[in-house]
Amino acid sequence: MDTDVPGYIDENAVGFFAALKEWLAIPSISADPARHADVRRSARWLARQLQTAGFPTVQVWETGTADEPGLPAVFAQWTAADPAAPVVLVYGHHDVQPVEPLDEWDSPPFEPAERAGQLLARGASDDKGQVFFHVLGTRAWLAAHAAAAPPVTIKLIVEGEEESGSPHFADLLRRERERLACDVIVVSDTTMWAADVPSMCTGTRGVVAAQVDLRGAEHDLHSGSFGGAIPNPLHVLADLLVGLHDSDGRITLPGFYDRVAALTQAEREMFAKLPFDEKTWLGTAGKSGAVAGEAGFSTLERVWARPTAEVNGMWGGHTGPGGKTIIPCEAHAKLSFRLVAHQEPAEVTDTLRRYVADRTPPGIEATVTVEGLGVRPAFSPIDSPAVAAARRAMERAFGREVLFTREGGSGPEADLTGILGAPLAFVGVGLDEDRAHAPNEKADMGLLLKGAQTAAYLWEEFAAAAAELRQ
Amino acid sequence: MDTDVPGYIDENAVGFFAALKEWLAIPSISADPARHADVRRSARWLARQLQTAGFPTVQVWETGTADEPGLPAVFAQWTAADPAAPVVLVYGHHDVQPVEPLDEWDSPPFEPAERAGQLLARGASDDKGQVFFHVLGTRAWLAAHAAAAPPVTIKLIVEGEEESGSPHFADLLRRERERLACDVIVVSDTTMWAADVPSMCTGTRGVVAAQVDLRGAEHDLHSGSFGGAIPNPLHVLADLLVGLHDSDGRITLPGFYDRVAALTQAEREMFAKLPFDEKTWLGTAGKSGAVAGEAGFSTLERVWARPTAEVNGMWGGHTGPGGKTIIPCEAHAKLSFRLVAHQEPAEVTDTLRRYVADRTPPGIEATVTVEGLGVRPAFSPIDSPAVAAARRAMERAFGREVLFTREGGSGPEADLTGILGAPLAFVGVGLDEDRAHAPNEKADMGLLLKGAQTAAYLWEEFAAAAAELRQ
């Protein structure tokens, strides 16, 4: 062997970053119709790079319909020499967040700049840098092994609408289910705990959003004439909302926790190993406040591994200056539930509808409007073969123990695993301090190279775990 | 005696209504600065009429200050021949409500019209008609007794800002406390149960209004990143509001009921005699809804004789279209309490402040802003000498039993009784169907004449009850 994986990556780092900067210079903002041509250009740029890197199959896939066209995803495939090798699908996205407010950027968002080992540009961390390290990692493995094909079949699916809520992604997955068929899905769009605390995400929460509208009298009533003897929709709404939690902060909807996968002792211990400082975390909320939540769980457990019910907005009656002694005729609230595996959005919305109907007193009419179908939670147990193999790869690259986290938010991962029927492994080297979605987004260049190393080892580890992955 | 009271009133009815129509033609809308000259004209018109009617003392009193002038009140006095006779102060107002929406009026609001025994005009019932019947009643008594002076000293105070919330009235009462000194106060600005169910109001509720503002994080937070582990101001607000009532609909503020005058058995029986149809009453709320309120009390008792806590408005978080998965940083509510005798607005606001402070969890900042000083409740027990005498007068005029009601709303009565230190008797002949404050306001002409009869008998009954009134 002329070289090894780290050696190849070191030697090719300059070229890697030069290419990545070209890609970062394309303002592929999917939320901005004026930038849709750039999103298409970004897809073409990536396709060309993948061809140059040696991927035998590279395609740009259109999404949406003729009537409502979407933005393109890039698909690539490099088949293993061994037909029995596992098939690994890597997920990422090539679109980026908007850049406003522009005046808060230290350098223009689409003129990539290096500063003290950091690469500054919109998309550097979320998600172009993390997609691109897989290409370098694959080249490194091939060079280190003087091989013509990787030890697993690598498929890449890099979508162009993730920052707009992936509106056509589930349809694309269903349409291309056969070409995307795989044994494991690697998601590279998450963060690690810290640069010196490598970690893997093992789940994302699902979400259900609904609006509750209450109606009492036909018009606002004089509180002198009616006050005390007519139900007030705002009181009823407050009661409905308060009733969603018991005094332990548990959600009261019947059966709500029935499908919740309990945290294992091993996972709780892994969470507890993370150097979590509650005060610092509270500081990111902009104030030295306080934590609060479900009894019996730590803050990280609450945010990552437990479902929630949140009131996102509420309104009714007189909200202008001064007083108005009325019993308002209407009250409204927007609610959302974060779900964890294996809760089903449809079951939660059914239970919510029944709860509101049962708890609404005579004289008030209640309507529950659910937004869309919701997002299902995604979950990869820490002892699953996919996670274990990915962890070994990451530990080899970082030379230290890799811990586990989860994501409190929601993404397209549940669709990936649900539609394609393969387990997930989250392999990301972003950091919370990368300011994804905010001005001055950046990526740690050293971590992107560690990501490339991880990718190279990942193919080996998955190949070695072929039997377990196929179980 | 050449005539009796009813006879005199019959003979002079045409002239009475002709004069009243002149007054009703003056658009004395206190809420409209463009009509303030008309409010002044209305005061001068009344002063001239009172002089013509024989009142020896008639004055137009300016209100407010040089910097912030108010609208004038009219004061008149007719002293009894007997220096030991009781002094009776009659309260009413000569300003009227705005008239919008104008296109809903069947005839122009300031062109008084007669139709089937009804007098149609803004102010016909509220309150010019009810002020003016006292003049006819006084003349009737003098004619029937061929007397040169009434049997009690009559004082009239007719304010010009009642429909604007009487902003200068309490100051005027304090300034003119000596000239307004009296043994009993007659308020003629309320309604009877029905044309064939004469009744007297015996109390008005007080009111305290406040805004509660809650603040959590510095900015709205992502509910994926923080949901489940940070207090949500909307949840805290809902909890604060729900906690104001127990499961019996009683208000939980410590000591809230301590000063509440319990309903007497006699008063409950009187309320129960009223031909109250709950379904019809609910219909005035515009919908066949349901009643609800404090356990152990009827609907009328709840509205008239029990204090309340109402949420008048509430807002916070995302209230626009679609969903937004945030933990909002703010939550707000406007509250008002209706008070009954002998609750003190200042005590209620203190208790509210303590309640909010005690119930606000760590991580949330709460502010309570109270509007003004509030309005104290007013109350005249049904067995008080003033009420008993007024009831006898009214029963003589109507020839049937007079029942008792209360008002759920709030007015300047508490200031009158509190500042002048005299008991109240509510003598009004308006009806709820008079559409005070709405288009097509009207007064029943027959009832206005019954009001004049009541006034005439009132002076006799008060004179006869002199000893009890002075106790």
Q: What are the DSSP calls for B51-82, one per residue?
A: HHHT-SEEEEEP-B-SSSB---EEEEEE--SS
Partner residue facing B302 (CB), from A222, A228, A285: A228
Contacting residues of A for B97, CB less than 8 Å apart: none
Instruction: Say whether pLDDT at A2 is over 70.
Output: no
Q: What is the pLDDT of residue A222?
A: 86
Q: Which of residues 322-381 of B touch A (CB under 8 A)?
A: 322-328, 331-334, 336, 338, 361-364, 371
Q: What is the pLDDT of residue B98?
A: 92
Q: What is the pLDDT of residue B288?
A: 56
| Residue spans of chain B under pLDDT 50 | 1
Q: Answer whether B321 touches A (CB < 8 Å).
A: no
Contacting residues of A for B414, CB less than 8 Å apart: none
Work out the pLDDT band at A1, boundaries 50, 70, 90: very low
Instruction: Say whether pLDDT at A12 is over 60.
Output: yes
CB contact under 8 Å between A318 and B334, yes or no, is: yes
Partner residue facing B318 (CB), from A230, A325, A334: A334
Partner residue facing A226 (CB), from B225, B303, B333: B303
Q: What is the pLDDT of residue B1?
A: 47
Contacting residues of B for A322, CB less than 8 Å apart: 371
Q: What is the DSSP letter of A164?
A: G
Q: Which residue of B has its CA nearest to A324?
A: B312
Backbone angles phi, psi at A403, to 5 degrees: -95, 180
Q: State ipTM.
A: 0.87
Backbone angles phi, psi at A77, to 5 degrees: -145, 135
Q: Is the dihedral of CA A197, A201, A202, A204 positive or negative?
A: positive
Q: Answer whether A296 touches B (CB < 8 Å).
A: no
Instruction: Say whether pLDDT at A288 is over 80.
Output: no
Q: What is the mean pLDDT of residues A13-38?
A: 97
Backbone angles phi, psi at B423, to 5 degrees: -75, 160
Nearest Cα of chain A lies from the Cα of B187 at a distance, in angstroms, of 18
CB contact under 8 Å between B319 and A306, yes or no, is: no
Q: Which residue of A has its CA nearest to B411?
A: A224
pLDDT digits (tens, 9 = 90+) for A185-217: 999 999 999 999 999 999 999 999 999 999 998
Backbone angles phi, psi at A343, to 5 degrees: -70, 150
When computed from its CA atoms, the radius of gyration of chain B, rounded to whole angstroms, is 25
Partner residue facing A289 (CB), from B216, B302, B371: B216
Q: Answer whether A106 touches B (CB < 8 Å).
A: no
Residue-wise over A346-367: b if at least 16 C-beta within 10 A, else e? Answer: ebbbebbbebbeeebeebbebe
| pTM of the shown model | 0.88
- Cβ proximity of B170 and B178 under 8 Å: no
- Cβ proximity of A198 and A398 under 8 Å: yes
CB contact under 8 Å between B226 and A303, yes or no, is: yes
Structure tokens, B352: 């509210």
Structural domains for chain B? 5-204+377-469 (3.40.630.10), 206-260+307-370 (3.30.70.360)
Work out the pLDDT band at A296, boundaries 50, 70, 90: very high
- Cβ proximity of A42 and A23 under 8 Å: yes
- B279, B310, B359, B406: best mutation site toward chain A, by most A Cβ within 10 Å? B310
CB contact under 8 Å between B226 and A285, yes or no, is: yes
The rounded distance, in Å, linking the Cα atoms of B370 and B17 is: 45
Structure tokens, B204: 């008005």
Q: Which of residues 221-280 of B touch A (CB under 8 A)?
A: 221-232, 234-235, 237-239, 241-242, 245
Nearest Cα of chain B lies from the Cα of A218 at a distance, in angstroms, of 5
Structure tokens, A88: 């690994």
